[in-house]
């Protein structure tokens, strides 16, 4: 386990935050505050195991940031503290609900049924965690420690967004919320209820997860989010303009949709496209892109939102080669010409 913690820490701070730190935080109260019930050795072993794994994960992160960073190039995220943001808390809370299955839709529709079932599953998780950490039911130490970990992980997760500028995405809560089902399952196994009732609750919870998953997949299949991007890719391929610049999430989609024919140098933000220094985003970037400028005609792809943040004095002199509801495409006769225009030369 310590080796896994070391390797996880070498992958960055995310696993430390979502796994090893909550484990450590949840193990201390069990050992210090809970009344002795004859399993003190088990609690001490749990505390020591969580502490050792946390230390090894930190050691892995130190190896990553102080040793490997000097030999290899990889992306490093700078996270800064900020004033408490209630908006970030609400954003994280809504993301948790969406992960459980909440979705928009008309009130008088099937979405209401699924959302109602989703809230019942959330209630089941909340009750399981509450009874686990308060000792309202006679549960094993494993069940209670699992509830404690889950609660600490959710609290740390929400506080992370409330007090730091880390960018938010729903997928980041999956490593935590995946433990919601084990929390319910372990609780149902150990609580002294009628077996038929417990089986019914478990079947209901699994059914809700299944139905919400099927609905999300079915909804996603009916949404063609890449249609506007395919228009851009087809336009470029028809004119044999296969080198250019775009922001990270747009550039990699272009490469995928063109089966690798369009080579995009990606940046972290649109403003970086209009810089002549080393402005490329190093994450998933070809080494060739870092060492050489593109040859031949080049394109600049911007979303409608990114366009507003770009140098208007330059773009005002250029006519967009192509645009649709989502994107604006500019084509320049070579990188050198583009660089001259950036520097104000003709």
DSSP sequence for 145-191: HHHHHHHHHHHHHHHHHHHB-PPP-GGGGHHHHTTHHHHHHHHHHHS
Write the pLDDT tens digit of every residue in 281-325.
877 788 888 888 898 999 999 998 888 878 777 777 788 999 999
Cα angle: 248, vertex 253, 255; to 5 degrees: 100
- Contact, 216 vs 103, CB < 8 A? yes
For the chain, the structural domain boundaries read: 1-77, 79-223, 227-342
Write the pLDDT tens digit of every residue in 92-127.
999 999 988 888 878 888 788 888 888 988 999 999
Write the pLDDT tens digit of every residue in 150-165.
999 999 999 999 999 8
Q: Supply the pLDDT for residue 38.
A: 56
57-77 average pLDDT score: 82
Q: Which range is least confidently modeled, 64-68, 96-100, 129-133, 161-165?
A: 64-68
- Contact, 310 vs 273, CB < 8 A? yes
d(CA 161, CA 87): 9
* 3-state DSSP assignment of residue 87: helix
Chain-centre distance for alpha carbon 252 = 17
Whether the full predicted model's pTM is greater than 0.75, yes or no, is no
């Amino acid at each position: 386990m310590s080796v896994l913690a070391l390797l996880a820490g070498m992958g960055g701070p995310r696993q430390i935050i979502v796994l090893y730190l909550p484990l450590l935080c949840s193990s201390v109260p069990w050992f210090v505050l809970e009344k002795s019930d004859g399993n003190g050795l088990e609690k001490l072993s749990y505390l020591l195991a969580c502490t050792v794994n946390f230390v090894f994960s930190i050691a892995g992160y130190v190896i990553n940031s102080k040793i490997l960073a000097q030999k290899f190039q990889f992306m490093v995220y700078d996270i800064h503290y900020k004033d408490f943001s209630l908006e970030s808390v609400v954003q994280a809370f809504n993301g948790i609900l969406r992960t459980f299955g909440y979705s928009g839709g008309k009130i008088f529709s099937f979405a209401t049924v699924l959302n109602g079932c989703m809230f019942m599953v959330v209630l089941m998780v909340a009750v399981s965690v509450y009874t686990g950490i308060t000792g309202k039911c006679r549960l094993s130490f494993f069940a209670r420690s699992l509830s404690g970990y889950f609660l600490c992980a959710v609290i740390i997760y929400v506080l992370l967004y409330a007090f730091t500028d880390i960018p938010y995405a729903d997928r980041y809560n999956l490593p935590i919320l995946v433990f919601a089902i084990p929390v319910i399952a372990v609780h149902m196994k150990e609580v002294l209820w009628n077996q038929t009732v417990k089986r019914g609750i478990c079947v209901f919870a699994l059914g809700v997860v299944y139905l919400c998953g099927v609905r999300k997949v079915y909804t996603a299949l009916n949404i063609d989010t890449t249609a506007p991007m395919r228009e851009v890719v087809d336009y470029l391929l028809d004119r044999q303009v296969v080198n250019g610049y775009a922001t990270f999430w747009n550039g990699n989609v272009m490469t995928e949709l063109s089966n690798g024919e369009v080579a995009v140098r990606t940046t972290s933000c649109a403003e970086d496209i209009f810089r002549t220094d080393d402005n490329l985003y190093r994450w998933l970037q070809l080494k060739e892109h870092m060492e050489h400028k593109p040859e031949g005609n080049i394109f600049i792809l911007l979303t409608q939102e990114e366009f507003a943040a770009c140098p208007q004095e330059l773009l005002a002199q250029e006519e967009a080669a192509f645009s649709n509801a989502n994107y604006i495409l500019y084509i320049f006769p070579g990188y050198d010409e583009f660089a001259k225009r950036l520097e104000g030369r003709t």
